Structure 1
Amino acid sequence: MPAGDSAGQEASRQLALAAAHDKAASAARAAASRYGLASVTEQRTAAALAPLAGAGYHLLADRQWPGSRRAQVDMVVVGPAGVFVVDTKAWADVTIAGDRIHRGQEDVTDELMALADLAYRTEGELAEVGLAPGEVHAMAVLAGRTGVDERVGPVQVVGERDALRQIARRGARLGPAQVDVVLARCLEWFRHVGDAAPISTTLLEPVLPAPRAPQPGTPHPADDRERDHGGVHHGFPDPRVPRGVTTPVPPVPPLSEEEVRSALLTGLMAAPVEEWMAFLHPAQARVVRRSYNGPARIRGSAGTGKTVVGLHRAAYLARTRQGKVLVTTYIRTLPDVLRQQLTRLAPDVVDRVELAGVHETAKRILEERGVEHRIDGRKIASAWTAAWGRVAGGSVIDTDRHEQDYWHDEVSYVIKGRGLTRWEQYAELPRLGRRHRLGPHQRRVVWELYEAYQEELANRGVHDFADQIALAEAELRREPMTGRYTAVVVDEAQDLTCVMIRMLHALVGDVPDGLTLIGDGQQTIYPGGFTLAEAGVSVAGRGTVLDVNYRNTREILQFASMLVRDDEFADIEGTTARGDRPAQVERSGPKPVYVRCATEADRQRRLVLRVHEVVAEVGTNFGDVGVLSLSRRGVEAATESLRKAGVPVVNLEQYDGVPVNRVKVGTVKRAKGLEFKQVLVVDPYASWLTEKPEELDDVDRERRDFRLRELYVAMTRARDGLWVASI
């Protein structure tokens, strides 16, 4: 080895070692800066949120990130407003646009998505104790900022001074007992942080290149150093400005006592939500979050919370999918009620959930596509009357066994509702749910009545509501709709027709979680049964049964179930069923009251007395009472009697879900999907309750089945008390 080479090599090794130490020191200084800054900013966030502790909140600071050995969660807030997973960001020069967040030129959205993922996993953990998914929030706090209220995907981004207000303004969504249950689970899920990160002072020996003989003209290393800018060696950071060190975030003034009081008072003054909006049974919470790889069905008997689950599921899908979610049902007035509930349940996604009746949806499709259609009730009735006179009057179907309404239903629900267009289809059709058997001659007359009715509608330039659905379904087959809806949730699916299901299915197809059908075949009160296979929909392996009754008392459910204990119905999945029975009923209460009245006048008098009697009870007002009838005539009679007695009344036709201290009066059909503390059923006849099915022919048996199902639906709207009056 030439003289001096060994010393030169050692010098190079020492320089490399020094450089490695410099680099490690720089990294350590940067880490110290970040940890120090994080410590300061996290302490400031904790101080900003500290007043919540006096309002029933629990602040869990410096918790272990579940599934990670080292990562930490700055703070988890558990209280009346729900659960907030809080991460403080000491970021300057932040811009938010198009669902992305940038720190200077760097896109840091993925950092917030990690927080979103943690909130999502926390949802699943807390669903096991019944917390609704929408009550878990991911919150990023920008240190040193104020007046920030943005969203990046599912993460709420707020300023340091805004965090307290954002949490408090959600109001009381959980009661003290519920907070305790959630807190206990959070303490298990977010454990205490372990030991601090280790400090290492041992560096690996630097690897040096093999020594090479200097080549002629190669400058001395010292010459390279002489040419470096400012005398700083290329490839190493300036020790005066350590790389990765974050400039301290300037503090913002803390909230004043008045601002704190104002924020907390806003939360206290917010109207509390009903318990079901924030807390579910664990089985319900799991169904809300469950993912299906195609169309799915959720069923269960009355009172098992199907509509509640459907509304929560719509909100959940809106949070976790791109595009809008459609919630629809056959009952025209129910979407208005659900819209009011969703506004309180999930204000963060209410603009991404569309609530509309199935006919309203069909109408919008036709209008957007420029398809002419006209609905005119008087002309529709005139067309039916003319068709009946032309074909059916005096025929084999014009008997005293069935009124015209029966045959109108046959045409509207069985023929048009199942999309039949040829006589051959109807001639051999299994008329699911229709006990009255029709011979070939009767069927032929019915088909001719259908054809005559269609001609009369065309002559008047109108369509009926079944035509409206058929036109929309045909339009979607001609040109599928893409991108508008990410999911469709159908409540009371058993009331829809085959063509309605086909139309709604066409909006989303068979994509995962696209179509959710919710309902109970036992509560079918419309004719024209069909199977999902007939509609081109399969839910095989994607069904869930809810089997815990949360609404009714044991006494109410037992009384109502007696009406349908022998009822068999054709289920939409193609089986003959007897109805689901809940495995568990959560509540008990007084026995239902059944009174036999001497006359109709006597029934109306007792009705008024019963209303005054139940509103005299603690915790019950006029708005908690529902008076239900099987007929419009019964609604009119009850309304008149109550108004004469000075009782405030609102018809369910005009009820939009906004709380109002008035007795709600309406038909059973309009009450589907609703519930009341007290229900009064006002127009059954005693003979309906005593008929023996085995003594009836198929005509009377069919009539009895539908009538008792309606009564069952009416009675199971009752939460605490049921009163039934017959004559």
Structure 2
Amino acid sequence: PKLFAAYTAEQILALGVPPVFIEQVMALVDTVGLNQLESVMPAEAWEPLHWLAEGLDYQEVLEEFNEHRNEPVDTNDFIEAIERSKRRFHVVENEQELLQMLNAPLEKWRVFLHPSQRKLVESPANGPVRVLGGAGTGKTVVAMHRARWLSQRLADKPGKKVLFTTFTRNLAADIRANLQRLCSREEMARIEVVNIDAWMSEQLKRHGYDFRVVYDSDEGRRKCWNYALQQVPAELGLPENFYSEEWQRIVQPNAVYSREEYLKVSRIGRGTALSRIQRAKIWPVFEEFRAQMARAKLREMGDAMHEAIILFKEKQVQLPYSSIVVDEAQDIGAPAFTLIRSLVPESPNDLFIVGDGHQRIYRNKVVLGQCGINVRGRRSKKLKINYRTTEETRQFAVGLLTGIKVDNLDGETDSSNDYLSLLHGEKPMITYASDFKEEAATIIKQIQALLANDVRSQDICITARTKHAYERYASALNDAGIETYNLGQDSGDSDQRPGVRMATMHRIKGLEFQYVFLAGINDGVVPEVKAISSDDPVEQRDALFNERALLHVAATRAVKGLFVSSYGVPSTLLTVH
């Protein structure tokens, strides 16, 4: 059957395909032939065909590309013609600017807004906006430019600010550095960039909150939890990790504070069914845990966020924010989004949320509608062009998530096939070695070749599953005379400092490098055995998705080239390729 047999020639013409290509397009039988046309067709004619072939709805594609087609055009208006052509051209003022663009280091491109995204950045909205998009589609850049645009609109509103928040301290630091390149000093003074946990902890401290906010790894929290486990009803025969998973997936995200609430709360997504009688027997474990935490003057993040909402209301705290921009929304859970919603009144341009469920590497699923954030109609957007990675790298990364359903942050399914890369390059180089020494030698050889071709050492990154793992590769590189620079948990990435970047896969989230090496992708390491060790099949499935997503995220940090290596038995995740 023909690839576009379901459509008429008139429908294909309506997408903007030039008449000269119609016969060829209608004769296509597969995407191989379509991909061959990419080099000869205008980009804005080929892209809608690509999305149709990927299964997108015809009407959606038509609206995406036909937005301005029926507007009257003044054929003598050169400025308007340039505006309409911005998708394909960047107008430079002089030869010097052109040379600067062609030779721009990576940090310049980290704040470059593609002209096709300007409308999204500069459009007023009557409520929350949600922007989805695969890795490399420019979500963070769009979010930064949106923050700047919002800041500019506050010039005549003294004291008002834009809060730009993301999931980790590292990402907040990286975004702050990039915004400083992008914004004037006055614009930057009206933007506060901070990760949501740190912001909340600081605010609570300022308002006399009497508890220390802790994470799972805190020793005091661990003691409280172990004490609570003494309340486990032995007759139910449930393993201990069931209780911690129930706490993290059901009790905390849903702000369950009483036995009655626990008996009623939905447990969709949990593998073990519970009757009301079983729930009643389980609840004392969670009640005891909260009691122990209260005695120790400790609070978990979810409880602290819930209490922050109440505290701000009771004390009538006046916050300076008129808008909040949220980056990496897929990793921010329900308690945080409920808090975020409470920080600004429902009003035009209140919330601008960007994320991608395919990049969820932590266990914080959210349904925005359940947090009081209602994204309606055209305020839901999707970025569909990857400006960072090559199509070959994108296909490798998307292949890691084949057959997995991913949500759109609001309880519905999101596709990973409806975006493409404009750039082409070499296929990712995958190598297998018998032992660590052989793998390290191969990586060293590949890096030496890049350095010999004038690639800066700071534009290369080796990433591994754990800190211990990447430190082994750093030692091997140092022994070979190659300088390295560790991107630790709290260290920023100054682009001027030389050295091959060494980091965990979690650390490079939100960053990009010309060349990326995924090292030690071995069986038992990726996915990490401990991470997927749950007795609950649903928990295990979700944990495995997070591990796949982690590899997907790491792979999509590469701009020009991706190298993947393992030693011993390779990871099962590589066998899909």
Is the structural similarity TM-score above 0.5?
Answer: yes
One-letter amino acid of the counterpart of residue 630, structure 1: R
Matches within 5 A, 1:384-533: 384-388=225-229, 391=232, 396-398=237-239, 404=241, 408=244, 410-427=246-263, 429-431=265-267, 434=269, 436-440=271-275, 447-479=283-315, 481-482=317-318, 484-533=320-369
Give the 3-state SS of the residue equivalent to 1:654 in structure 2: coil
Give the 3-state SS of the residue equivalent to 1:475 in structure 2: helix
Matches within 5 A, 1:166-185: 174-175=97-98
The answer on whether the counterparts of 1:294 and 1:515 sit within 8 Å (CA) in structure 2 is yes
The yes-or-no answer on 1:318 pairing with 2:151 is: yes
CA-to-aligned-CA distance 1:349-401 (integer Å, 9 cap, x gap) = 122111101011101221232222214633223333443465389973327xx
Give the 3-state SS of the residue equivalent to 1:564 in structure 2: coil
Tell me what 2:425 maps to: 589
The yes-or-no answer on 1:341 pairing with 2:178 is: yes
Give the 3-state SS of the residue equivalent to 2:358 in structure 1: helix
Aligned mates of 1:442, 1:610 — CA distance in 2: 58
Aligned mates of 1:481, 1:339 — CA distance in 2: 26
Offset, 1:467: 3.1
CA-to-aligned-CA distance 1:127-164 (integer Å, 9 cap, x gap) = 9726999x99xxxxxxxxxxxxxxxxxxxxxxxxxxxx
Offset, 1:327: 0.7
Give the 3-state SS of the residue equivalent to 1:503 in structure 2: helix
Give the 3-state SS of the residue equivalent to 2:386 in structure 1: strand
One-letter amino acid of the counterpart of residue 86, structure 2: V
Aligned mates of 1:521, 1:364 — CA distance in 2: 29
Aligned mates of 1:499, 1:360 — CA distance in 2: 14
Tell me what 1:664 maps to: 501
Aligned mates of 2:130, 2:87 — CA distance in 1: 21
Tell me what 1:264 maps to: none
Offset, 1:339: 1.1
Structural RMSD (CA): 3.7
The yes-or-no answer on 1:539 pairing with 2:375 is: yes
Distance 1:378 1:608, change over 3 A: farther
Aligned mates of 1:127, 1:341 — CA distance in 2: 28
Tell me what 2:108 maps to: 274
Matches within 5 A, 1:168-317: 174-175=97-98, 274-275=108-109, 277-278=111-112, 280-317=113-150
CA-to-aligned-CA distance 1:30-71 (integer Å, 9 cap, x gap) = xxxxxxxxxxxxxxxxxxxxxxxxxxxxxxxxxxxxxxxxxx
State the number of aligned residues: 468
Give the 3-state SS of the residue equivalent to 2:209 in structure 1: coil
Q: 1:373 aligns with which of 173, 198, 211?
A: 211
Give the 3-state SS of the residue equivalent to 2:395 in structure 1: helix
Tell me what 2:435 maps to: 599
Aligned mates of 1:271, 1:580 — CA distance in 2: 29
Matches within 5 A, 1:115-130: 129=86
Offset, 1:490: 0.3
One-letter amino acid of the counterpart of residue 129, structure 1: K
Aligned mates of 1:431, 1:568 — CA distance in 2: 19
Aligned mates of 1:127, 1:310 — CA distance in 2: 23
The answer on whether the counterparts of 1:629 and 1:682 sit within 8 Å (CA) in structure 2 is yes
Aligned mates of 2:479, 2:288 — CA distance in 1: 46
The answer on whether the counterparts of 2:331 and 2:364 sit within 8 Å (CA) in structure 1 is no
Tell me what 1:631 maps to: 466
The yes-or-no answer on 1:382 pairing with 2:223 is: yes
The answer on whether the counterparts of 1:630 and 1:667 sit within 8 Å (CA) in structure 2 is yes
Distance 1:654 1:177, change over 3 A: closer
CA-to-aligned-CA distance 1:485-542 (integer Å, 9 cap, x gap) = 1211000111111110111111112111111111011212222423112101101121
Aligned mates of 1:697, 1:354 — CA distance in 2: 41
Aligned mates of 2:458, 2:261 — CA distance in 1: 49
Aligned mates of 1:304, 1:559 — CA distance in 2: 16
Aligned mates of 1:430, 1:335 — CA distance in 2: 34
Q: 2:452 aligns with which of 603, 613, 616?
A: 616
TM-score by length of 1: 0.58
The answer on whether the counterparts of 1:412 and 1:466 sit within 8 Å (CA) in structure 2 is no
CA-to-aligned-CA distance 1:677-727 (integer Å, 9 cap, x gap) = 1122224335879xxxxxx95454333222111111111111111122233
Give the 3-state SS of the residue equivalent to 1:545 in structure 2: strand
Matches within 5 A, 1:628-707: 628-646=463-481, 647-659=483-495, 660-686=497-523, 698=538, 700-707=540-547
Give the 3-state SS of the residue equivalent to 1:685 in structure 2: coil
Offset, 1:451: 2.7
TM-score by length of 2: 0.72
CA-to-aligned-CA distance 1:200-255 (integer Å, 9 cap, x gap) = xxxxxxxxxxxxxxxxxxxxxxxxxxxxxxxxxxxxxxxxxxxxxxxxxxxxxxxx
Distance 1:593 1:353, change over 3 A: same
One-letter amino acid of the counterpart of residue 499, structure 1: P
Give the 3-state SS of the residue equivalent to 2:205 in structure 1: helix
Matches within 5 A, 1:80-95: none
Tell me what 1:353 maps to: 191
Unaligned runs of 5+ in 1: 1-121, 137-166, 180-269, 690-695
Tell me what 1:719 maps to: 559
Distance 1:356 1:717, change over 3 A: same
Distance 1:336 1:407, change over 3 A: farther
Unaligned runs of 5+ in 2: 1-78, 528-535, 570-577
Offset, 1:313: 0.8
One-letter amino acid of the counterpart of residue 338, structure 1: I
Offset, 1:428: 5.1
Tell me what 1:204 maps to: none
Distance 1:272 1:676, change over 3 A: closer
The answer on whether the counterparts of 2:132 and 2:408 sit within 8 Å (CA) in structure 1 is no
Aligned mates of 2:363, 2:188 — CA distance in 1: 34
The answer on whether the counterparts of 2:440 and 2:473 sit within 8 Å (CA) in structure 1 is yes
Aligned mates of 2:283, 2:89 — CA distance in 1: 50
Aligned mates of 1:443, 1:603 — CA distance in 2: 51
Aligned mates of 1:398, 1:289 — CA distance in 2: 52
One-letter amino acid of the counterpart of residue 211, structure 2: H
One-letter amino acid of the counterpart of residue 325, structure 1: V
One-letter amino acid of the counterpart of residue 335, structure 1: A
Aligned mates of 2:509, 2:233 — CA distance in 1: 34
